[in-house]
Amino acid sequence: MTMTITIASEQPDHIDAIRAVNDAAFGQSEESRLIDALRDDNGLTPSLLALNDDQVVGHIAFSPGIINTDSGDVPAISLSCMAVLPDCQKRGVGSLMVREGLRQVTDAGHRIVFVLGHPTYYPRFGFQRASTFGIRWEHECPDEAFMIMELQPGALTGVSGTVRYHKAFDMFV
């Protein structure tokens, strides 16, 4: 199958297709329910689609978060969910979405982004183990899977503490 991928912002008429992509990619509906909860609380910033001839084949969502430090909260953004239809995986769709999403959150002025994800996938975009900065997630997870990245040089200088995702994540942990 030849694909011509365009990246677009989520629109209300895409919601069912977004659920279908996430359910197919993850084999269950927990991510779809999380995305719905984030959307209901205006916590998708941004939510992007990969379209192949107007068909949704991928979805990526970012949401606000914070790093609790000894000197106060540091704003950050999380790469919350990323999914590609199984028959479209390993064809560069996810990479296109991640790069465009990172560009958009950087352009929006975000300085730090974090992700809980595949430790062999996300480093290609510049993510590093959060623990190397003295940063951890508030819940237990494999050290190599929790990663962070500066969107602006020096954004993590002197920052260490505990990451908290958007409150919508609380019902899924």
Instruction: List, for residues 72-86, the tens digit of each pLDDT value.
Output: 999 999 999 999 999
Asked if pLDDT for residue 106 goes beyond 90, the answer is yes
pLDDT at 2: 73
Q: What percent of the chain has pLDDT over 90?
A: 92
Closest by alpha carbon to 79, among 163, 14, 143? 163
Count of structural domains, the chain: 1
pLDDT at 144: 97
Asked if pLDDT for residue 1 goes beyond 70, the answer is no
Domain range holding 147?
5-172
Q: Model's pTM, two decimal places? A: 0.94
Asked if pLDDT for residue 12 goes beyond 90, the answer is yes
Residue 4 vs residue 76, higher pLDDT:
76
pLDDT at 170: 86
Mean pLDDT of the chain: 95
The CATH number of the domain holding residue 162 is 3.40.630.30
